[in-house]
Amino acid sequence: MHSTSITSWHTGYYYPVPKHLFSTHKSKSQKTHCKNHSFITLLATHSCSKEQEKNHNQYPKNDNNSYPDQQNHKFFQDFYSSIETPKTQFVQTEEESESEIDTHLDISSNMWWTDLKAALGQRINLEGIASSVGILSKDKHLVIPHVTVPDIRSIDWAELKNRGFKGVVFDKDNTITAPYSLSLWPPLGSSIEQCKFLFGNNIAVFSNSAGLFEYDPDGSKARALENAIEIKVIQHKVKKPAGTAEEIEKHFGCESSRLIMVGDRPFTDIVYGNRNGFFTILTEPLSAEEEPLIVKQVRLLEVAIVKYWSNKGLKPISHTLLPDSIKCVKDLSSDRSS
């Protein structure tokens, strides 16, 4: 046996090979003393003895009978190539799973952020604050409603219908439902039914919570409210008191001057209604128990300003269909005693 000294440098190839394949392709002239066959190392040297070079030249240079090391090298290259595809597929599958997780987290984050904005937006109305600046300086008349009532039971729907009004637009929270509730305020049931009987399907909710695209982008809150109270919810892009009456007019198929706006907030519902030509009715809040503290404080300030300006002689904008607005208010003393 000739000894071989390996100097200079060598390149190592590491291939994972199953045990049953290792014994099949092992050279007969070599004995293996390694007990761990999970990896095979092939060394391609660039420094060998002359006798090795001579033995190497004895092999015919054709494709059918190539040098044994080259055969082994080619075999393991083919074998390793065959196992790379599943590994690549596994990596791709893992990346796809991570992508799905990231997508799910993004959706959850977006839903969480939407809910947070809705909660803050219903407590702090930036559009209302900006509008209040103009009202306090020059448009004081916009905050004065045509009619002020304790709640909608005081409204004579038949009189309004006879005067030529085509439909009714309600605010939601503290006007016909408790704050953030999906149920009608029980004592208002008979008044709502009378309103439906007279105006048919020409009744809708226009709210800064359910139906506002900013806080209800998929309309799920609007649909839930519609199913609960059986009144259409108009979806819109701009929070009251800002914005036009375009979405409402499109829904009812008439001008806003033929419609009634009912709400509990002077600087929100009433300003929006007066600015866009509605007949406006201000109600007192149904319940203050679940209302945030900041909303209670702002409401007290709004009511105090309205009373102060009314006592100073400030009048609401005259409406052509009902100049004497007090005629649509019912005397409920007999109804409530029964």
pLDDT given for residue 137 in this prediction: 67
* Domain, as residue range, for 22: 10-88
pLDDT given for residue 280 in this prediction: 98
Burial 5-34 (b: 16+ CB within 10 A, else e): eeeeeeeeeebebeeeeeeeeeeeeeeeee
pLDDT average, residue stretch 221-225: 92
The CATH number linked to 296 is: 3.40.50.1000
Proportion of the chain above pLDDT 70, given as a percent: 57
How would you class 268 by CB atoms within 10 Å of its CB: exposed for 0-12, middle for 13-18, buried for 19 or more? buried
pLDDT band at 13 (very low <50, low <70, confident <90, very high): very low
Tell whether 138 and 250 lie within a shared domain: yes
Nearest to 283 by CA among 153, 196, 191: 153
Domain membership flag for residue 261: yes
Tell whether 77 and 217 lie within a shared domain: no
pLDDT given for residue 84 in this prediction: 45
pLDDT given for residue 331 in this prediction: 79
Q: Please state, rounded to an integer, the average pLDDT across all residues of the chain.
A: 74
Nearest to 212 by CA among 172, 265, 166: 172
Domain membership flag for residue 75: yes
**Cα 288–Cα 213–Cα 230 angle in degrees, nearest 5:** 60
pLDDT band at 193 (very low <50, low <70, confident <90, very high): very high
Tell whether 83 and 131 lie within a shared domain: no
Structural domains in the chain (count): 2
Tell whether 210 and 83 lie within a shared domain: no
Tell whether 145 and 76 lie within a shared domain: no
Tell whether 71 and 208 lie within a shared domain: no
Residue 113 corresponds to which tokens in the numbers above? 């952020």
Tell whether 74 and 131 lie within a shared domain: no
pLDDT average, residue stretch 325-338: 72
- Domain boundary among the residues 88, 118, 139 is at 88
Tell whether 81 and 133 lie within a shared domain: no
Residue 39 has pLDDT above 50, yes or no: no
Domain membership flag for residue 114: no
Tell whether 71 and 191 lie within a shared domain: no
Domain membership flag for residue 115: no
- Domain boundary among the residues 88, 112, 146 is at 88
Q: Is the pLDDT higher at 86 or at 255?
A: 255
Tell whether 182 and 304 lie within a shared domain: yes
Tell whether 145 and 83 lie within a shared domain: no
Tell whether 230 and 326 lie within a shared domain: yes
Sheet holding 147-149, edge to edge: 147-149, 279-283, 259-263, 167-170, 203-205, 232-233
Q: What is the pTM of this model?
A: 0.63
Beta pairing, strands 39-45 & 10-16: antiparallel
